[in-house]
Structure 1
Amino acid sequence: MLAALLAATVAGCGSEQEDPPVAPVGAAPSEQPATGAEPSPPAAPPATVDPCALVTRKEAEQLAGTKLDAAVPVRETCTYTGPVTGPTAQVEVFVGDGAKKFLDIERELGHELRPLAGVGDETYASLEAVFVSHSGQWVSVRLVRLNDPAENRAPLERIARTVAGRI
């Protein structure tokens, strides 16, 4: 009886369909197993904009009115800071979702946002930053200084025009 059961089990092993081979993660489409359906082409990665290319060090220094240290890029941001010897100054550039979130927070806080006509698709200026949208891409430039914010209005508007031309 045991011999008959063992024989039936062994005979049944060859009759089951085997699972198709699985390609390793990250394998190229040509390495994928054939399934009868055409694989869809990989989605193109979203276009990236280098935030440090949108505002150069020289432009950041003009905006801040002082010398600044070299750019510190981190993902979708670029920061220029004043030297430790002073004066206090910082220029921050945000690209993408972070820039849009910054604008949304400014709105939620009720901060004054002035539209800037003729700059990008949609542009706003606050006392400390500008927010530029062009072709679906948001960029913000924030200026930190210990001065009367009214002094920053024209320089921020100039940098908004520069950024809009580079997006």
Structure 2
Amino acid sequence: MLRHPRTPARTDSPPRPAPHRGGAAIRPVALLSLLALLTPAACGQLAGPISFGQDDADDRPAPAASSQPGGAPAPTAAQPGEATDPTDGQSPQPADDAVALPDPCALVRKPEAEKLAGLGLDDGKPVGDTCTYTAPVDGPTAQVEVFVGDGAKKYLDIERTLGHETRALPGVGDEAYATADSFFVNASGRWVAVRLVRLNDPEENRRPLESLARTVAARL
């Protein structure tokens, strides 16, 4: 039998797909069409949100509690029905140690100021932490000044700095002192000073000043 010479294969022809074992060969066009149909569905499943059932949620570990700088645990939101602390997350407010100051015109009333001055005075004029009773301009000179708070203590310090004689008044308030024309009382952490301006012998004012000091101390 004569054999025909083998015709050389053309290099520009596409190779034929290998036959599928056990069945007909899958055409390239059909394979590409199948991939085109399956790809969007697969991508949609991968790109879509992943949902968990209740069983999955029970199996998942609880998230670790975050911490603040320094290792302190971060505050968590209150659950419904839980009582909340109004100070959570807030710096504690400093305690108010300030002592409330009394009304200086109420500590030394007009009749008491007139008794100390020995004559009639106008109504007291409060200015800040002071109260001043002044004699009418057409009469003798007299004035009673009342100071409360830091101003009263400062007045005492000035008297001592100037070297004025300051004597203690035992049994009056927590501590009390008197000079020739003034007295100073400290009771319950509050200072009060009363100054008398009068053109007379200062020794005449000694007992009236001490008596009024006891009255003021009882009101503090």
TM-score > 0.5 by shorter chain: yes
- What is aligned with 1:37? 89
User: How many residues align structurally?
Assistant: 134
| Gap runs ≥5 in structure 1 | 1-33
- What is aligned with 2:132? 79
Query: CA offsets per residue over residues 15-71 of structure 1, 9 Å max, x none?
Result: xxxxxxxxxxxxxxxxxxx99523424644531211011000000000000000000
1:58 aligns with 2:111: yes
Q: Distance in 2 between matches of 1:68 and 1:35?
A: 53
Superposed, which structure 2 residues align to 1:5-154 within 5 Å?
37-41=89-93, 43-44=95-96, 46-154=99-207
Q: Distance in 1 between matches of 2:163 and 2:131?
A: 26
Give aligned-pair identity as a percent: 66
Aligned partners of 2:175 and 2:187 also within 8 Å:
yes
Question: Greater Rg, structure 1 or structure 2?
Answer: 2
The 4+ residue runs of structure 1 with deviation greater than 6 A are none
- What is aligned with 1:31? none
Q: Distance in 1 between matches of 2:155 and 2:139?
A: 26
The amino acid across from 1:75 in the alignment is G
- What is aligned with 1:26? none
Alignment RMSD (CA, Å): 1.7
Shift of residue 138, structure 1, vs aligned partner: 0.6
The amino acid across from 1:111 in the alignment is H
Q: Which has the higher contact order (CA 8 A, sep 6+)?
A: 1
